Amino acid sequence: MSPFASLAVCMLSMAAGLQASSLRPNQYSMIILCFSLAWLWFDGPNAPGFGLSLGSGWVVLNQAVDRLAPLN
């Protein structure tokens, strides 16, 4: 994937996130994780897909741990 195409995908995902403001913020990471894993499945290994899946997976893991063991 060219750098321009990678930038275009990043900008489109940011625009989609802004338009989907009716969702709760903790749902964004799960949606991004599903789309990035599907992207990796269909397109094969690539840096942007791997980065998105790694980052959003980390956020999902942190949210799950916060729900299981809150620090109140």
Domain boundaries, the chain: 3-68
Q: With a cut of 90, say whether residue 10 has pLDDT above it.
A: no
pLDDT digits (tens, 9 = 90+) for 14-68: 777 676 666 666 777 888 889 899 999 999 999 988 998 998 899 888 888 888 9
Residue matched to tokens 């903790």:
26
Cα–Cα distance for residue pair 1/40, rounded to 1 Å: 12
Q: State the pLDDT at residue 23.
A: 65
Which of 6, 60, 11, 7 has its CA nearest to residue 33? Answer: 60
Q: Which amino acid is at 5?
A: A
pLDDT at 38: 92
pLDDT of residue 21: 60
Rounded Cα distance between 20 and 11, Å, is 14
Tally Cβ neighbours within 10 Å of residue 72: 2
